[in-house]
């Protein structure tokens, strides 16, 4: 379950009601369709979610199906109230394992547009960053995870905030696409 925005308009860094040392904290591990249900509240958010699903489809076509993604940015905040504007994109770090028999160089050469944030933002409304898992440099993994966590667990002002984690597997995408289509069809949401 995705927690509601707190009084500061952000996802809480620790689930409300939990002790400060609780493990029920950000990044909250959720199903992709729950992200759609929770955040498809405006036409801008609908377009960003559609872009996220299209981005994921292209990652899957490139063979990236094992791993997870962290979702953050103004999309995860109540930016409409905090800054009187809609979100422009969603920030995504994709932590993935390389497909068997494919090198990093070959993957990036064949699918360059999926690994350059300026291109993913323009095409999908996704400020996307890749991170390869499984390399034999465990200390590097720890450092990079700490980097992203520390960057995303605070606003620039220092306010603590939460973010989400979804599985990279394509199994969740069909349900998320169906929920998005249903919300649009019902007219209750964009």
Cα 98 from Cα 132, distance rounded (Å): 7
For residue range 153-184, list pLDDT tens digits in order: 888 888 889 999 999 999 999 999 999 999 88
Q: How far, in Å, are 10, 12, 16, 127, 154 from residue 162 at the CA level?
A: 7, 5, 11, 18, 8
The total number of residues written for the chain in this structure:
190
Q: Which residue has the higher pLDDT, 189 or 104?
A: 104
- Give per-residue pLDDT as tens, 78-128: 999 989 999 999 999 999 999 999 999 999 999 999 999 999 999 999 999
Is the predicted pLDDT of residue 189 greater than 60, yes or no?
no
pLDDT of residue 138: 63
Give 25-42 pLDDT, tens digit per residue: 889 999 999 999 999 999
In 31-137, which ranges are continuous DSSP H helix?
Answer: 32-39, 43-61, 79-82, 104-110, 117-124
Q: How many CB atoms lie within 10 A of CB 56?
A: 26
Strand order in the sheet with 90-97: 28-29, 164-167, 67-72, 90-97, 126-133
Determine the Cα–Cα distance for residues 162 and 169; give it in Å rounded to an integer.
22
134 phi-psi bin (left φ>0, alpha ψ -120 to 50, beta other): left
What was the pLDDT predicted at 156?
80
3-state secondary structure of 135: coil
Confidence of residue 141 (pLDDT cuts 50, 70, 90): confident
pTM, 2 dp: 0.91
Q: Could you tell me the pLDDT band of residue 16, with boundaries at 50, 70 and 90?
A: confident
């Amino acid at each position: 379950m995705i927690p509601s925005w707190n009084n500061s308009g952000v996802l809480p860094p620790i689930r409300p009601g939990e002790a400060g040392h609780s493990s029920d904290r950000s990044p909250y591990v959720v199903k992709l369709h729950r992200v759609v249900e929770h955040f498809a509240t405006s036409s801008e958010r609908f377009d960003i979610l559609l872009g996220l699903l299209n981005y994921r489809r292209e990652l899957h076509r490139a063979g990236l199906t094992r791993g997870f993604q962290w979702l953050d940015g103004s999309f995860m905040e109540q930016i409409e109230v905090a800054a009187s504007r809609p979100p422009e994109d969603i920030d995504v770090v994709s932590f993935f394992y390389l497909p068997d028999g494919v090198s990093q160089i070959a993957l990036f050469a064949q699918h360059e547009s999926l690994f350059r944030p300026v291109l993913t933002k323009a095409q999908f409304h996704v400020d996307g960053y890749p991170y390869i898992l499984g390399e034999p440099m465990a200390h590097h993994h720890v450092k990079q995870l700490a980097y992203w966590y520390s960057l995303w667990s605070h606003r620039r002002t220092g306010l603590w905030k939460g973010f989400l984690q979804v599985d990279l597997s394509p199994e969740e995408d069909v349900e998320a696409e169906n929920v998005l289509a249903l919300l649009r069809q019902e007219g209750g949401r964009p």
